[in-house]
Structure 1
């Protein structure tokens, strides 16, 4: 009974949600504009320029003092008309939003009141605008209006347009901020490590232990900083006898077997690691008992003995170090700072250390919270060292965060903003220094005016920086920004929901690659690549979303309203009761619940369900550790679960997604999933429960019929084939000018489809990606061996699997001298009287199809020698005078044929123009083209046979495709058999078949009964007759409709040939590569194969006549080439590369003697 409710949820989600597939991208980008940028600018205010010698200063408040006067302007042209995304595509522009703000300049002087100057609506930045986000023009349009603007009726959005190119930012998987973790690592002795009797401390334990946190503040003003605590390994024990006989240094080991271990801490602002105990004492814990209680807060007294020995080692080793060096704790911290000052020590501890802890006006209370935070981290490291707990599993999804588009752009925005701020203060300071008299005293207020504010605040730096990142490395990482794939609709969807782990592909860290159990329901277990990227690239499941940040103040207020909540700053370490529940909010220990924690938990859950707090808040109560972990940060993957007590009828009664979300289920993250008991069977009365198995799959794997009946590798391969399948990738493809795209001319909706199919491929599944072919599984004529298939020529003649390839070519005039208005010009070189007599045209090129303006005529047939756009380039001398023109006309790539399908002319700056030409090429299947079923049964065309030669059944039905039976047993694609059987039934009764995985049992039995009921053989087989002889075939043939895809990988794109052509200057051998008109390389293995075939003349032709045959002078008596010795000289023929090699070794004073047969 769970299937109808789950299907209702699937349909409701994808129909009611505005952007269900790219919701995580759009939410993140909207959060960037509405929260992250204003919060960051406010936290960065004011930008200060101090002039201490003159006792003057300038404060710059961007967005005014409250930081709220920041506005966004969607893309507009000079006439204040909306610039649409398709205009940016065709004109190679960037679809960007303007960020404007009011800027306040406050000038303070030694005497008198400060002066304030306000500049309104100043452009402070330009940011690429995500399509279909809040400020995008498309967000207010319906499908028909989008179609009129050149967009697809089913436009997804979630990507950017940079210089006319569609770009997508892949979600980046990383370790989360403000999360504690611990573990061990191989210990490496530092230089000068103390020696005990000639033995290093590695002779004791060989691993050190650590506790760490990557801390980041909520405003994001600084990059996350690592806080790392390391406990050195326990050294070799030293007995009394050895201590008396051998000299023992003070830090290597303590006398009489008491080990010396000084844990050290790495904190931001300190150049070196600092002693842990010194930091505790700097936080105000004056005695060892308070430090002990802070570390072991929440541990009952009866269990503390496990920690006593280690803590004693820490304290005794640290105190002995202080005594031996005659130094105090504050001095140790001071000498590790840059300025070696006490002020910097306390600045580092108060501001830089643990920035995720909320700043408090009471410094003592804030230090106590940081001490508890450090104590918790120390306890985790001690438990790892003592073997009490296992190392933290950082591959668990509760430690994962995903940076989506808004977070990634914010990282670049933060860097650019800080650079511009520094450049502005430097420019102001420079101007004041060199024009001191002009801006002395109060005249400094004339320094910045509205006319010159752009000189100081260089807003274009943002767009330059972001454009560079979009086109190259993003924050130093490759592969973050990618060109949006437009091969197929499913390929586009897959890329928009893809995630990438920032790790070297050659890395052999297996844990990060393995499928982790905590990823269930968040990422697809099947839709992963093979090869070097396995486990690093993942895809979000159907209902997975990524959280955006919500205000922590909501949770803080809710906690304070709970009567048994006690703030952390009011708790002395010695008074901590082990029964109290520690409450952590984004890594910040807020306080404790002294009793009735279950009531607090229920209260928070109830507030989340009633929307009193954000629905994305994570509420996890770890009863084992007595911790309540609350999270409001961004980047957490979340998925829905049925609430306890929800029934099937209640779900069906909710008709909209908003009501379903409000009453039927909760969105939970991996941390919360780990702390609740989840029922696999839906509609549990007491526990949250799963909705349906299909929701753990990605969009690609969810459209595969009966994928639960196929092995995992086949599902993985099928996902890869779906990305490459020819389809209708865009409903408005005839208005696009993509470099290379293809469409399937007559796609069909599959007979067998899943619940997800109508929502993935356009509304109602109107953007299909294959055709329903009649497939017979048989050996026939020997031309479908291995992975080859036989196709029906008559079916192909009727248009089956015919595709149209589109190639777009772009040309634009380029300005050479802006002052003299000299530029390249689009013109008909052959007909224009200005150039026809003076310009030498390209040989063997056809200019006859150009119009008078130099553009090729629409509908013209073209080949590789046809000129698409006529263009001339002026030759300018040093004085700027034009001396002549050269022909730089645009021609297609090698092997191009087709018809000119579209021409787009657009204007550029300075009155010059550009043009794009689209050539359409119709292609039918040929030998070697690749096909695949949705079960991952891929193969190439081995033969195309006429209809009359193919087998047929008693009703005259002939197959469109014949598949070899050997493809079935080893690959075990039972799902394809079910698809064929069920599609045969659906075709007979005129109905679509529900092929959703995990929905039914005994499907084979049911389909057999239905086949028998409608007069078919129950196993889906038929007696067939040989089309060539008419004889009945010996075996029954499995026959039925199967949805097949035609891959973009075609022979016509890979076949290469050449008779003559260009050669390389160095070796005189043919060029490499198909696009360069190069030849096919014949190496040693090819040579050996040709020798085995006995075609010696062909080998000589390949290595000499068609390659680099060369004549050299040779003296038989000396065996040298080009010698000056006396004697007979003859000519030899050899490859030029051989001659070159001889000359190179002779340049190293190595003579080469050649022996020949009698000449």
Structure 2
């Protein structure tokens, strides 16, 4: 059976760290070649051997990284063609929600002209990883996505300690296994590389889970047992989408959360000690990626674990909350589960354009352009996520009093009639900031530009106007 190319577990996201690392490695190799060439020339010409000077003369790393971050063009092939464009972008600071949304955005590197439906559609592995609503309309629909609230991306860790542990457990090298016995053994793959086989794996998977929950191996490692193919796959590479889930343990034949009321009381009382890292290290919450998710059984609510409800005895994990499948913009829509699906998509796009307070320090920032609402108001109805995202502290919009009605016999379709007296009293009053830049240039020793209060006696062709309000420094 062929692999599903849209399965999210088979995909890796390019994040800033690995992108910068690979870019640095490329420029470092170039610099090493150039330094070698300079030093060779010094030897050939019987000049002093100056390593520090040779390194200083090569500025590929600085120039190359600055070029990539300024243009967004990432990497070049052998012919000098740009491999990827738009990798580095200027952060959108138009509104608070547009900024948060931009930080969680994913771009699929596919041509927008193609009419392929499959890559644009919602896949079942997107659950909890990708927001089902927040995507642009038009040709980018489904190709530009946004991460869900609790989705995290793996940074990547070494496999050395896992490999050592598995070797002690009885991992046989591929050289030692006769080909005719391969079918009887359980194959082990580390980051997609076949490293060996096991005769039997009694309790191995459970032990690996326990090691991960105690942080003896990386909490972001993924452990997948494929019973049908007789394979164990372990992933520790970067770019895997993961999400946190409550761990369910079996106590006396009953499934219960590892999280107890005592933990919640402690977290409320001592938030510094009982923080997120504590719950990860204690194995109360663990990160699961799309590949491993298919080997787990997740209950939607804690009540599903009660005896006598469905598959109560088979659950391995429990959702933290079903609403966490949504992204930043969709999670601030009140009662979004009562809306027609496209309406949530439209609102997710439009909430990024709602004027409000985009940052708290706007009065000391020098943004190219900025819009600010004079009198923003907290929404009358808001979701739980609104509090966690601090939208109550930086709101957008006003709770206007609206009548949906006929007016003078004419129906109003998708339009507004504003009350002039409300506008006069300050409804939707806003301010617009723009930063203008200018510089003093000096050409030689004679022509000097300077900012000052112009005088008719000194400045030739001075435009007529009132310059009295200007200070001496212009």
Q: If the length of structure 1 is used for normalisation, what is the TM-score?
A: 0.37
Deviation at 1:530, TM superposition (A): 1.0
Q: Which residue of 1 aligns with 2:132?
A: 525
Q: Which residue of 1 aligns with 2:78?
A: none
Pick one of 764, 767, 771 that aligns with 2:394: 767
Q: Which residue of 1 aligns with 2:176?
A: 570
1:464 equivalent to 2:63? Answer yes
Match of 2:248, SS state, is coil
Cα deviation code 1:590-645 (max 9, x no counterpart)? 212211x2411000000000111110000011112111110010110100122123
Given the superposition, is the C-alpha separation of residues 821 and 616 from structure 1 closer, same or farther in structure 2, using an over 3 Å criterion? farther
- C-alpha distance in 2 between matches for 1:653 and 1:704: 30
Given the superposition, is the C-alpha separation of residues 815 and 621 from structure 1 closer, same or farther in structure 2, using an over 3 Å criterion? farther
1:544 equivalent to 2:168? Answer no
Q: Which residue of 1 aligns with 2:291?
A: 671
Pick one of 805, 829, 854 that aligns with 2:454: 829
Given the superposition, is the C-alpha separation of residues 430 and 749 from structure 1 closer, same or farther in structure 2, using an over 3 Å criterion? same
Q: Which residue of 1 aligns with 2:6?
A: 395
Cα deviation code 1:230-270 (max 9, x no counterpart)? xxxxxxxxxxxxxxxxxxxxxxxxxxxxxxxxxxxxxxxxx
Q: Which residue of 2 aligns with 1:148?
A: none
| 8 Å contact from structure 1 (residues 489, 761) kept in 2 | no
- C-alpha distance in 2 between matches for 1:794 and 1:784: 23
In the TM superposition, what are the counterparts of 1:686-701 in structure 2 within 5 Å?
Answer: 686-687=314-315, 688-701=317-330
Deviation at 1:756, TM superposition (A): 1.0
Match of 2:119, SS state, is coil
Given the superposition, is the C-alpha separation of residues 654 and 529 from structure 1 closer, same or farther in structure 2, using an over 3 Å criterion? farther
- C-alpha distance in 2 between matches for 1:429 and 1:409: 30
Cα deviation code 1:458-502 (max 9, x no counterpart)? 2x4323222222222422323222221111100000000111111
Q: Which residue of 1 aligns with 2:49?
A: 447
- If you compute each CA radius of gyration, which structure gives the higher value, 1 or 2? 1
- C-alpha distance in 1 between matches for 2:430 and 2:175: 70
| 8 Å contact from structure 2 (residues 378, 395) kept in 1 | yes
| 8 Å contact from structure 1 (residues 743, 805) kept in 2 | yes
Deviation at 1:516, TM superposition (A): 1.1
Q: Which residue of 1 aligns with 2:427?
A: 800
Match of 1:809, SS state, is coil
Cα deviation code 1:81-140 (max 9, x no counterpart)? xxxxxxxxxxxxxxxxxxxxxxxxxxxxxxxxxxxxxxxxxxxxxxxxxxxxxxxxxxxx
| 8 Å contact from structure 1 (residues 397, 518) kept in 2 | yes
- C-alpha distance in 1 between matches for 2:455 and 2:108: 55
Q: Which residue of 2 aligns with 1:850?
A: 470
Q: Which residue of 2 aligns with 1:788?
A: 415
Q: Which residue of 1 aligns with 2:253?
A: none
Deviation at 1:707, TM superposition (A): 0.5
Given the superposition, is the C-alpha separation of residues 571 and 482 from structure 1 closer, same or farther in structure 2, using an over 3 Å criterion? same
Given the superposition, is the C-alpha separation of residues 713 and 830 from structure 1 closer, same or farther in structure 2, using an over 3 Å criterion? farther
Given the superposition, is the C-alpha separation of residues 823 and 511 from structure 1 closer, same or farther in structure 2, using an over 3 Å criterion? farther
Q: Which residue of 2 aligns with 1:624?
A: 228
Q: Which runs of 5+ in 2 are unaligned?
A: 75-81, 250-255, 268-274, 306-312
Cα deviation code 1:979-1001 (max 9, x no counterpart)? xxxxxxxxxxxxxxxxxxxxxxx
Deviation at 1:653, TM superposition (A): 4.2
Q: If the length of structure 2 is used for normalisation, what is the TM-score?
A: 0.87
Cα deviation code 1:203-234 (max 9, x no counterpart)? xxxxxxxxxxxxxxxxxxxxxxxxxxxxxxxx
| 8 Å contact from structure 1 (residues 542, 698) kept in 2 | yes
1:592 equivalent to 2:182? Answer no
1:814 equivalent to 2:441? Answer yes
Q: Which residue of 2 aligns with 1:474?
A: 73
- C-alpha distance in 2 between matches for 1:702 and 1:556: 41
Given the superposition, is the C-alpha separation of residues 844 and 503 from structure 1 closer, same or farther in structure 2, using an over 3 Å criterion? farther
- C-alpha distance in 2 between matches for 1:428 and 1:392: 51
Given the superposition, is the C-alpha separation of residues 667 and 550 from structure 1 closer, same or farther in structure 2, using an over 3 Å criterion? same
- C-alpha distance in 2 between matches for 1:543 and 1:553: 29
| 8 Å contact from structure 2 (residues 39, 51) kept in 1 | no
Match of 2:101, SS state, is helix
Given the superposition, is the C-alpha separation of residues 743 and 421 from structure 1 closer, same or farther in structure 2, using an over 3 Å criterion? same
- C-alpha distance in 1 between matches for 2:206 and 2:91: 45
- C-alpha distance in 2 between matches for 1:844 and 1:510: 63
- C-alpha distance in 2 between matches for 1:416 and 1:846: 56
1:605 equivalent to 2:209? Answer yes
Pick one of 730, 749, 764 that aligns with 2:378: 749
Match of 2:86, SS state, is coil
Match of 2:399, SS state, is strand
- C-alpha distance in 1 between matches for 2:335 and 2:72: 41
Given the superposition, is the C-alpha separation of residues 821 and 465 from structure 1 closer, same or farther in structure 2, using an over 3 Å criterion? farther
Given the superposition, is the C-alpha separation of residues 714 and 432 from structure 1 closer, same or farther in structure 2, using an over 3 Å criterion? same
| 8 Å contact from structure 1 (residues 583, 593) kept in 2 | yes
Given the superposition, is the C-alpha separation of residues 782 and 412 from structure 1 closer, same or farther in structure 2, using an over 3 Å criterion? farther
- C-alpha distance in 1 between matches for 2:284 and 2:407: 55
- C-alpha distance in 2 between matches for 1:432 and 1:523: 58
Given the superposition, is the C-alpha separation of residues 752 and 589 from structure 1 closer, same or farther in structure 2, using an over 3 Å criterion? same
1:716 equivalent to 2:321? Answer no
Cα deviation code 1:1059-1116 (max 9, x no counterpart)? xxxxxxxxxxxxxxxxxxxxxxxxxxxxxxxxxxxxxxxxxxxxxxxxxxxxxxxxxx
Match of 1:463, SS state, is helix
Match of 1:482, SS state, is coil
Pick one of 634, 652, 664 that aligns with 2:264: 652
- C-alpha distance in 2 between matches for 1:403 and 1:785: 48
Match of 2:371, SS state, is strand
Match of 2:359, SS state, is coil
Deviation at 1:455, TM superposition (A): 4.1
Deviation at 1:823, TM superposition (A): 4.9
| 8 Å contact from structure 1 (residues 654, 660) kept in 2 | no
Given the superposition, is the C-alpha separation of residues 401 and 600 from structure 1 closer, same or farther in structure 2, using an over 3 Å criterion? same
| 8 Å contact from structure 1 (residues 499, 540) kept in 2 | yes
1:777 equivalent to 2:404? Answer yes
- C-alpha distance in 2 between matches for 1:579 and 1:449: 58
Structure with higher strand content: 1
Q: Which residue of 2 aligns with 1:422?
A: 33
Q: Which residue of 1 aligns with 2:272?
A: none
- C-alpha distance in 2 between matches for 1:469 and 1:849: 45
Aligned length: 441
| 8 Å contact from structure 1 (residues 473, 480) kept in 2 | yes
Cα deviation code 1:924-955 (max 9, x no counterpart)? xxxxxxxxxxxxxxxxxxxxxxxxxxxxxxxx
Deviation at 1:533, TM superposition (A): 0.7
In the TM superposition, what are the counterparts of 1:497-508 in structure 2 within 5 Å?
Answer: 497-508=104-115
Q: Which residue of 1 aligns with 2:310?
A: none
Deviation at 1:570, TM superposition (A): 1.7
Deviation at 1:822, TM superposition (A): 5.7
Q: Which residue of 2 aligns with 1:582?
A: 187
Q: Which residue of 2 aligns with 1:614?
A: 218
Q: Which residue of 2 aligns with 1:860?
A: none
1:680 equivalent to 2:300? Answer yes
| 8 Å contact from structure 1 (residues 784, 790) kept in 2 | no
Pick one of 165, 171, 183 that aligns with 1:558: 165
Structure 1 vs Structure 2 CA RMSD? 2.2
Cα deviation code 1:562-581 (max 9, x no counterpart)? 1x4322232121332x2321
- C-alpha distance in 2 between matches for 1:821 and 1:507: 60
Match of 1:643, SS state, is strand
| 8 Å contact from structure 1 (residues 642, 690) kept in 2 | yes
- C-alpha distance in 1 between matches for 2:411 and 2:433: 31
